Structure 1
Amino acid sequence: MRFGIFLPAGQFPGEEHGDALARTVEAAAAAERAGFDDVWVAEHHFMSYGVCPSAVTLAGYLLGATSRIEVGTAVSVLSNQHPVALAEQAALLSLVSGGRFRLGIGRGGPWVDLEVFGTGLERFEEGFAESLDLLLAWLSSERVSWSGHAFRFREVPVVPRPTAPPPVVVACTSPGTEALAAARGLPMLLGMHIGDEEKAAAVARYAEIGGPAAHIATGVAHVADSREEAVRTVRRELPRWLGPGLAGYVPVDGRPTTPRDPREYARLLCELHPVGAPDDCAATLAATAAATGIRHVILLVDCTGSRERTLENIARLGAEVLPKVRDHPGP
């Protein structure tokens, strides 16, 4: 199995933006020391849930600050930017890092970002497939021209051209996006808001259209001396920063939304994911692999609102949990 950490760069109570970003960099270095395979950084705009507005920029910094671990975006929001610009950045990072960069992309949401960046609601609702195809064409070609609905340009050379295209994974939260990924042979990145049964169903739907793929599951992980202690800590601390963060999702068109209850969400995450003593966490990870067939898991490790607890959690996961499941035989 393969294990990574997921770092949204959330702003904890009492932190400045720089504190959140510095903690994210420190956590990535700790993950490399602890033996994780990869680290994934998120992109958010205008909210405290994540104060990193450019996942590829932060990924580039982390690639320079590490030597072994792979670094990916989870995700770069394709609806907010030109796919050629994102593809160029991905190619650049792949080349200068010796192939350690992984590009995770997502549709995003109907948020105010679309207004600020001028891409508009149509790019989110109707334009994701074209944007994805243009990005993939750029990463796999020597020259590209385009004549589509949202993009149109004469043939130009691809510079820089990666030796091999960086791996691309697509965040999937709907059957429609699953089908787009499957038709293009791209692995899915499945979110932490769903459990093993729903992840297995998504994998099955994908398999009806595409072939086998190295999908990635996202979860929450926190280790303590007992399950009771771990759950108590997460349920107490996670809502303190998650609640204000989730309030940052503002629809561009005023559509009604119902924000998640942060306390209920914390309870759900503790039920679904590896939160507990080391043996509890190992058993949960093994059960996810068996139920879904997914052999790559990335874990939100900084859910407790503390730099010190985050670093301790990463170290304990690496030393006490991952060795128990790394060679799990799978389904």
Structure 2
Amino acid sequence: MRVGVFLVAAGFPGRDPGRVLADTVELVVAAEEAGFDDAWVAEHHFMTYGVCPSATTLAAVAIGRTSRIGLGTAVSVLSTWHPVALAEQAAMLHHLSGGRFTLGVGRGGPWMDLEVFGTGLERFERGFGESLDVLVRALSGGRVAAEGEFFRFREVDLVPAATLRPVVACTSEATLELAARRGLPMLLGMHVDDREKAAAVAAYDALRPGPGAHVAAYDALRPGSGAHVAAAVGHVADSTRQAVRELKEAMPRWLEPGLAGYVPVDGRRRPARDVPAYVDFLTRVHPVGSADRCAEAVLATAEATGVRRIILMVEGIGDHRRAVDNVRRLGAEVLPRVRTALPPN
């Protein structure tokens, strides 16, 4: 069992984005001191939901401030990156961290990022599989070339070379199938509950190539469910009632303006989110409550899904000092309960 923190660099109203980024690094440091195994950071563009536009850059800063904790991206948006450029970044972080870095990638959405960065809606809608293939070839420790619709270039050496297995955010059946066919582990978001996460793992296992199958560039990469990563909200207080009340008061101030930052690139209607209902869902199904309640929820996710890597979004309170306290209390009061039941790998 590995338990980490998940940091969105949440832009609560009135908070300076530069200060939020510095505080996010401080939360990584606090997580290492509190005994967490990993810290994963998110990438967003042109919005206050998350004010970190480069998860790899923030991870690099955090690597320099820490010595033990694993760092990951949850996620780098592959639809707006050239996969070889992202592979170079990941390889650098792998070497500079002494092997502590994990690259998480996602398809993203049909947002304005695609227009601004020039990759276009087509890369998002039908180019993700090709992007993923080029990325994994580039992270296979050798040379990489491409002869596809979106990428076409002669063979080159990746310098520095590294052998890494990306984790893929799976929020749709199509992306889940791409990950499963390639044997790449999934990142399952906090917007789904344990039942939906377990269904995703079952669907993945049904699609995954068998032991005798040949999957070019992906051999020996096929994970069990323990290699997947599950995200959840994590917030501890003296009582479950207090923890729920705190998040229900704080999170809508962040989510209402933050989620409005998702602007479609082609004028399509953006699905509306009932923010109070969403916060109610998050506080009901995730580790939000007393220390006992938080530990029980983490263990319930592990039991229901088989996933042994859990990351907790710890910024929902909107106050940096309280978020640091949340990390410390989760480390002191919740992690020991979890590890007694499921020791770390």
Answer whether TM exceeds 0.5 for this pair: yes
Comparing 220-229 with 207-216, greater Cα deviation is found at 207-216
Alignment match, 2:215? none
Alignment match, 1:177? 175
Task: Give the Å deviation of 1:184.
Answer: 1.2
Task: Give the Å deviation of 1:259.
Answer: 2.7
Comparing 19-28 with 141-150, greater Cα deviation is found at 141-150
Alignment match, 1:226? 239
- Within a 5 Å distance, the mapping from 1:237-256 to structure 2 comes to 237-256=250-269
Is residue 2:16 matched to residue 1:16?
A: yes
TM-score by length of 1: 0.97
Change (3 A) 1:53 1:14: same
1:196 to 185, 194, 197: 194
Alignment match, 1:273? 286
2:305 to 292, 300, 304: 292
Q: Partners of 2:57 and 2:15 in 1: how far apart?
A: 21
Tell me, yes or no, if the aligned pair for 1:99 and 1:166 is still in contact at 8 Å: no
For 1:259-301, what per-residue CA distance to the aligned partner results, in whole angstroms no more than 9, with x for missing partners?
Answer: 3122111111001101100001111111111111111100000
Alignment match, 2:128? 128
Identity of aligned residues (%): 62
Alignment match, 1:322? 335
- Within a 5 Å distance, the mapping from 1:1-331 to structure 2 comes to 1-162=1-162, 165-210=163-208, 212-213=224-225, 214-329=227-342
Tell me, yes or no, if the aligned pair for 2:140 and 2:164 is still in contact at 8 Å: no
Q: Partners of 1:278 and 1:167 in 2: how far apart?
A: 34
Task: Give the Å deviation of 1:327.
Answer: 3.9
Letter in 2 for 1:201: A
Task: Give the Å deviation of 1:305.
Answer: 0.7
Task: Give the Å deviation of 1:326.
Answer: 1.7
Q: Partners of 1:204 and 1:167 in 2: how far apart?
A: 21
Letter in 2 for 1:33: E
For 1:30-49, what per-residue CA distance to the aligned partner results, in whole angstroms no more than 9, with x for missing partners?
Answer: 00000000001100000001
Alignment match, 2:214? none
Change (3 A) 1:11 1:104: same
Task: Give the Å deviation of 1:240.
Answer: 0.7
Q: Partners of 1:155 and 1:243 in 2: how far apart?
A: 47
Comparing 269-278 with 5-14, greater Cα deviation is found at 5-14
Letter in 1 for 2:202: A
Q: How many corresponding residue pairs?
A: 328
Alignment RMSD (CA, Å): 1.1
For 1:242-267, what per-residue CA distance to the aligned partner results, in whole angstroms no more than 9, with x for missing partners?
Answer: 21110000000010112312211111
Q: Classify the secondary structure of the residue corresponding to 1:208.
A: helix
Alignment match, 2:217? none
Letter in 2 for 1:110: P
Task: Give the Å deviation of 1:27.
Answer: 0.5
Q: Partners of 1:225 and 1:204 in 2: how far apart?
A: 36
Q: Classify the secondary structure of the residue corresponding to 2:283.
A: helix
Tell me, yes or no, if the aligned pair for 1:101 and 1:166 is still in contact at 8 Å: no
Task: Give the Å deviation of 1:329.
Answer: 4.6
Tell me, yes or no, if the aligned pair for 2:168 and 2:184 is still in contact at 8 Å: yes
Letter in 2 for 1:208: A
Q: Partners of 1:293 and 1:279 in 2: how far apart?
A: 21
